[in-house]
Chains A and B, each alone.
Chain A
Amino acid sequence: MTPRTEKLEPPSDDKRWRIVQATMQRNGFERDGLIETLHTVQESFGFLDDDSLRYVAASLNAPLSQVYGVSTFYHLFSLKPAGKHTCVVCLGTACYIKGIPLLLKEIENEFGIKAGQTTPDGQLSLMTARCLGSCGLAPVAVFDGQIDGKVNVHEAMARLKALQEGDNA
């Protein structure tokens, strides 16, 4: 199949689609630019929704099944919007033997969510990472994009509660 040469009309007039189009154009609207494109969509919109998957599939002339397959195969892609705050807990070996499972359990109990879920009020998403590569600082967690090393359960819980309350106040 030959790649398209002209741009397709995006699902909405949101300006962020231009960034997505630019990525596809840079890869010549070839199908092998699919992962790059999905990265751009996720960076721009936070997650991949049905409309964006359909749009990317049509633009790259790729079957929707391939686009859906790729976006569910890779862990970094999310088909659901994240909560207002995020907490990523590292499950690497060093963090594991330094007690990160305890923190994970504590957060799950306190906020009533499992890893990969968001609280019903959309405030906090709890995620896990395979290894953040900061093993020298184990155990490691990331709060709203800010990486924190040598975390202890007590401090981490206080921090999460502060994040939550900061918004309510």
Chain B
Amino acid sequence: MLERLEEIAATEQLFAEEFAHTVNVCMAAGCMSSQSGLIKEAFDKEIERGGVERRCRVRGTGCMGLCAAGPLVTVDSQTPDEVLYQQVKVEDVPDIINALEGQPVKRLQCSIDIPFFKRQKKIVLENSGIIDPERIEEYIARDGYSALLRAITEMSPSDVIDEIVASGLRGRGGGGYPTGLKWTTVAKSDGEVKYVICNADEGDPGAFMDRSVLESDPHRILEGMAIAGYAIGASQGYVYVRGEYPLAVARLKTAIRQARRSNMLGSGIGGTPFNFHVDIRLGAGAFVCGEETALIASIEGKRGQPRPRPPYPAEYGLWGCPTLINNVETLASVAPIVRNGGEWYAQYGTATSKGTKVFALAGGIRNTGLIEVPMGTSLRDIIYDIGGGISAMGECKAIQTGGPSGGCIPAAYLDTLVDYESLAALGSIMGSGGMIVMDESTSMVDVARYFMEFCMTESCGRCVPCRVGTVHMYNILDKFSRHEGTQDDLVLLEKLCDMVRNTSLCGLGQTAPNPVLSTLRYFRSEYMDCMIPEPDGAEIINETLEVAQ
């Protein structure tokens, strides 16, 4: 079977060599919204018109990362002659074609010799922007599915788990639970039927890593899921995708169909007795469904409300069966780990957080887009070197990580090396990878209010602390944003944070106070500035009240 993969890869290589030049147009959601679809059509027409079909081919690829400069086009990528063009318009197409043989078009050229590209280490995104996500052949030509075949023909399920454990990979959805440990638990759970679920319900506002991976390299997720299925003894997997990501869903569907046809999914994969099927389940716009028990309820066709744990899904999950739930990026790391070994992966990163992490840079930063860096890279390097610094005039004020469950890290901590523990120590979390840069114009009270409004609306209503607590916290924050806060409000706000954090049923409520707590910790003076000026002596009364309580 491995020979067949090699054969496909060789044919693909020969096919590519028939052309002197390859033009790649980014067809991921970011560039698509700036009309890259029309640009690809224009290239097709121009090549036909110029009669150079035999010499040049045009491909649509996945995300190239630098979304700020889209639509992006590369010519002859992966060769020494690679040229990257930015902000390409339909009118520019003939110039680019004419320049194939000579000097690149200067006015459109974007240097690839900049820190944004040089300082990244791509493992999860290694195929992103390089292959056409709608052709399985291109994935196979870049070692695709070789890890799966190796796993099911040469390794035992426990060998596979050992590699994952050795890699030190931790859950990329935010929690950072060791992936190897999770796999071991599900593998050991009793049950004839087990399931693998890929959590692609990327709900954090400001995060688009999972979307990009699904759109740019869908086969990698399927391969990761199939390897996971083999390791834990499951033969059915589900990808739970947000309904808001139609392009990702379409590409995933295409990928599943192609993988089935190539016998990389389905019954008797690669001529072995191993069966693994994958189906897609669509989310319908509920943030809480990113929580694993709520996600399971949603797949079962119910309202996405969480339930108390334990029992954890590893023992009692989908339809009561042991279930492994991993995030998109986690599963996307599996194939390279199996292919190159756990130790290879563990060479990247810090003592407690191994490997690389994909971040979505957005907000007041110059190079908005998608990056992948080794764990342990400093925030300063990410923002100023790779990110190109702050876009508007002014300084970086804070960095928001982890979405509504995370916190705001003030600029004073820019030299922090990013890993799970260091971000937690600062009162934020790694989260799924959204990184929003805020400049001096942003009011932190307003940011806290924004996230509380989010949690209030997205609270599923099952448990009282979250359902009622978020409303009260929002009302207080709203008062502050109208400059009508009082000292009593501040005391009450902190009490509510403590209560909601400690008594809510699931992660949504437990982490909802984080944005408030972290802004109170680092930007307390902004809250003070949002208070009604108190008459003389009022402070003393407040203090007496507190003592009395």
Contacts and interface: CB of A to CB of B under 8 A. Distances in A.
Given A93-B400, A136-B67, A147 B33 contact: yes
Contacts of B299: 32
Interface string B300-319: 11111000000000000000
B239 to A, nearest CB: 13
Chain A interface residue number, banded: 35 or more
A134 B286 contact: no
B211 to A, nearest CB: 4
Interface in A86-106: 91-94, 96-98
B533 interface: no
B284 A138 contact: no
B137 interface: no
B123 interface: no
Given A76-B285, A149-B33, A133 B211 contact: yes
A131 B303 CA distance: 21
B493 interface: no
Contact of A66 (B70, B281, B302): B302
B363 to A, nearest CB: 5
B58 to A, nearest CB: 23
A74 B285 contact: yes
A69 B303 contact: yes
A148 B29 CA distance: 11
B403 interface: yes
Contacts of A58: none
Contact of B303 (A70, A91, A129): A70
Contacts of B361: 136
Nearest to A33: B301
A118 B44 CA distance: 41
A56 B283 CA distance: 18
A70 B206 contact: no
Contacts of B68: 136
Contact of A131 (B70, B205, B298, B450): B205
| Most chain B beta carbons < 10 A, residue from A133, A136, A137, A148 | A136
Interface in A52-93: 62, 66, 69-70, 73-77, 91-93
Contact of A97 (B32, B287, B363): B363
A93 B206 contact: yes
Interface string B432-467: 001010100010000100110010001010000000
Contacts of B454: 130
Query: Which of A33, A74, A76, A134 has most chain B Cβ within 10 Å?
Result: A134
Given A31-B301, A32-B300, A97-B447, A134 B33 contact: yes
A130 B364 contact: no
Interface stretch (A6-14, A34-42, A156-164): A34-42
Contact of B282 (A35, A137, A140): A35
A138 B29 contact: no
Given A130-B454, A136-B68, A92 B29 contact: no
Interface string B61-80: 00000011010000000000
Contacts of B304: 73-74
Nearest to A148: B33
A92 B206 contact: yes
B369 interface: yes
Nearest to A72: B303
Nearest to B367: A136
B34 interface: yes
B243 A133 contact: no
B352 to A, nearest CB: 27
B544 to A, nearest CB: 40
A133 B282 contact: no
A38 B205 CA distance: 25
B362 interface: yes
Interface string A95-123: 01110000000000000000000000000
Contact of A137 (B34, B203, B281, B458): B34
A73 B303 contact: yes
A31 B361 CA distance: 40
A132 interface: yes
Nearest to B289: A74
User: What are the 10 closest A-B residue pairs judged by CB atoms, nearest first?
Assistant: A136-B67, A74-B284, A75-B285, A135-B362, A131-B205, A34-B301, A92-B205, A94-B362, A93-B206, A32-B301
Given A76-B283, A94-B363, A137-B34, 10 more contacts: A39-B284, A73-B304, A92-B206, A93-B363, A131-B207, A131-B244, A133-B207, A135-B206, A135-B363, A149-B34
17 contacts: A36-B282, A62-B301, A69-B303, A74-B303, A75-B285, A76-B243, A76-B284, A94-B206, A97-B364, A97-B442, A130-B205, A130-B244, A131-B207, A131-B244, A134-B33, A136-B30, A137-B67
